[in-house]
Structure 1
Amino acid sequence: MPLGVVIRRMPGVTRWARHVWKAVAVLPGAGEASWKELRREGDAVEYHAATLTLELYRTDTEAYLQGLSAEVPAIYVVMRDAEEGDAPLDITLVTASPFEAQDYADTGEEQVEKVPMPEGLIAWVRDFAEAHHEEEVFVKRKRDKKRIDLKEDGIGDARIRQVADVYRAPSRREQVH
């Protein structure tokens, strides 16, 4: 599903940041756009920054259900500083998976914003997740039957002759000059 990403530019609060950029909304079914101004209120400006495709995968249904169970279900917008061009940010991804969003947040290279999911989008993601979700059966690992009470012969490397315990601390030998 195409999702338009709405980014708000606010004046910075420090002398080091002229502007603060924040993803504030998504527009399901939006057409193509590239930093089209939507609204201006004083110093705050909202842009339809980009339209990206929200792709859902049947292998990620557990993550979608986890995200939908939050108090406010969200879409995560992944952005990074633009390297070239006139746009201040590159909008790289939109996802409904909080697990995928966390992976991007962990790198520290991208800015990940949590945007409330509109009602229609909640229903669409929920329908997809319920149609494709398969509970994974927990399989407990079985312990091997190795005997641990037996005497251990051959501790250490067999190629190295040891006259004492291989775990002892090395002793200093006095050298004769």
Structure 2
Amino acid sequence: MTARPSLQVAVVMRRVRIDNRWQPWRWELAEVVMHEPAFGSAPRLLGKSDAEERWLHPGYTVELFRDDAEGYYLNVTTEAPCWFVLWRMEEEAGITDEPIPLPTAVSLSYHDAGRWLDAQETVEQVPAPADVVEWVRAFAEEHYVPEPKRRKRPESFKPLQDRFGNPASVSTEKKFGGGHG
């Protein structure tokens, strides 16, 4: 069995000051970068100022799966192909005195992002670099097979339905009155 194509990446999360009396800070995805051994394996503070704080979260593997080629194709054929990052806030302060966001997964597939959003997860996106987009495009072109277009049935062959979507029927019989007797 051959290994799936994959990349090692790190995620940078940013805490930015906002002008809001109830919530002075907001966390957001800053960027996804290629992983380097010097990053280590634990999250670490990259920098802190009065306006922002940046955290590096290393060690995420982005794999390409043949059965998700359509998801990659949908991403690379948009005007702005991107990384999708699912992240959650720590339940309790652990790495620092306050909870920080922890990326859970990184993907290049529209389908992954859609499933995460359907599950009401926090998903953000940042642009993917051209070399990564070309890598994914080559994979998608090799493995994505569009489903053949199905012929649309003529309207006359569709079953009759009432305005509520229930089966309906048409009859030429007279149901009430007017009977001769």
Displaced runs of 4 or more, over 3 A: 29-33, 39-42, 138-143
Distance in 2, Cα, partners of 1:103 & 1:30: 29
Distance 2:140 2:35 in 1: 19
Equivalent AA in structure 1 for residue 24 of structure 2: R
Is 1:89 paired with 2:101? Answer: yes
Q: Aligned residue for 2:110?
A: 98
Which residue of 1 is the match for residue 59 of structure 2? 51
Partners in 1 of 2:137 and 2:30 — Cα distance? 22
Separation in structure 2 between the aligned mates of residue 30 and residue 76 of structure 1, nearest angstrom: 20
Deviation at 1:133, TM superposition (A): 1.8
CA deviation map 1:77-106 (0-9, x unaligned): 001121242251221110111222122122
Per-residue CA deviations over 1:13-59 (Å, capped at 9, x if unaligned) read 32332321111211123344433223445421222123311111111
Confirm whether residue 133 of structure 1 aligns to residue 144 of structure 2: yes
Tell me the residue number matched to 2:73.
65
Instruction: Give, in whole Å, the separation in 2 of the partners of 1:59 and 1:97.
Output: 11
| TM-score computed with the length of structure 2 as normaliser | 0.69
Is the Cα–Cα contact under 8 Å of residues 117 and 123 in structure 2 kept in the other structure?
yes
Unaligned ranges ≥5, structure 1: 144-148, 152-164, 166-177
Aligned-residue sequence identity (percent) comes to 29
Q: 1:101 to 1:89 in 2, by over 3 A?
A: same
Matches within 5 A, 1:33-48: 33-40=41-48, 42-48=50-56
Matched residue of 1:14: which SS? coil
Greater CA radius of gyration, 1 or 2? 1
Name the SS for the 2:25 alignment partner.
Answer: strand
Q: Which residue of 8, 27, 36 maps to 1:30?
A: 36
Cα distance in 1, alignment partners of residues 125 and 89 from structure 2? 17
Query: Could you tell me the TM-score, scaled by structure 1's length?
Result: 0.70
Query: What stretches of structure 2 of length at least 5 have no aligned partner?
Result: 1-6, 158-168, 176-181
